Amino acid sequence: MNAPRLSDGVISLDQHTLADADAHLAGEDDEQGRRFGWYPSRSSPERVRKAIEKWQADWAAAGLTRTLAIRDLGTGVLAGGCQVRLRADQIAEMSYWVFPAHRGKGYATRAIVLTSDWVFGELGIERLELYVEPDNEASRGAARRAGFTEEGLLRAREQIGDERRDMVLYSRLPTDPPPMRS
């Protein structure tokens, strides 16, 4: 399966290539490392290249994980990424990251909306879930703006680094109303 190329006139989403490795590495910050659990370690060039090769292989094999690059549509600059993980029963989970220089411009919100519409339309997903730490206001804001419904606090839901953390569960269904447009 080929990765889609999705756009809303401001950002585009498509497959990563190895040419993205340097920008991906440069974009990672401590906030991203804390949220995804590898802080205080940093990614190495080798680890990023391996990740991109894995993401490409996942697309080629139509695997259970689909990762997309978030780009500024005007410049093509890599601004972050998002990942959908397919689960049983037409349920999928999604996570996302935006590099510091591009935060606060609505890119995460846009990426969540574009990806949601694609997984509902093309993959037959009936329920898309986000798991967000309670103090991650930026991510919770993006989830809300993208039309997700907050369903509650799941205690000790995820092992992040060396501790189990609570997560707020958000979901969106294909039948939910469209998200707010700015």
| Among 55, 107, 120, 170, contact with ligand COA (rule: CB under 6 A) | 107
Count other Cβ atoms within 10 Å, centred on residue 115.
24
Nearest to 16 by CA among 8, 26, 24: 24
The yes or no reply on residue 145 touching ligand COA (CB under 6 A) is yes
E strand map for the chain: 6-7, 11-14, 65-72, 78-86, 91-98, 127-132, 149-160, 163-172
| Among 47, 49, 85, 103, contact with ligand COA (rule: CB under 6 A) | 103
The yes or no reply on residue 31 touching ligand COA (CB under 6 A) is yes
- How many residues touch ligand COA under the rule CB under 6 A: the total is 22
Q: What is the DSSP letter of 126?
A: S
The yes or no reply on residue 94 touching ligand COA (CB under 6 A) is no
CA 121 to CA 127: how far, in whole Å? 12
Residue in the structure block whose two tokens are 């707010």:
180
Q: Which of residues 110-139 bind ligand COA (CB under 6 A)?
A: 132, 136-139
- Shortest Å, Cβ 120 to ligand COA: 20
- Shortest Å, Cβ 8 to ligand COA: 12
Strand order in the sheet with 127-132: 6-7, 11-14, 65-72, 78-86, 91-98, 127-132, 163-172, 149-160
- Shortest Å, Cβ 11 to ligand COA: 9
The yes or no reply on residue 106 touching ligand COA (CB under 6 A) is yes
Calculate the CA dihedral of residues 32, 38, 44, 47 and round it to 10 degrees: -100
The yes or no reply on residue 108 touching ligand COA (CB under 6 A) is yes
The yes or no reply on residue 12 touching ligand COA (CB under 6 A) is no
The yes or no reply on residue 170 touching ligand COA (CB under 6 A) is no
Q: By C-beta, is 62 or 104 nearer to ligand COA?
A: 104
Q: In a 3-state reduction of DSSP, which class is residue 129?
A: strand
Which residue ranges make up the site for ligand COA (CB under 6 A)? 31-32, 35, 95-98, 103-109, 132, 136-139, 141-142, 145
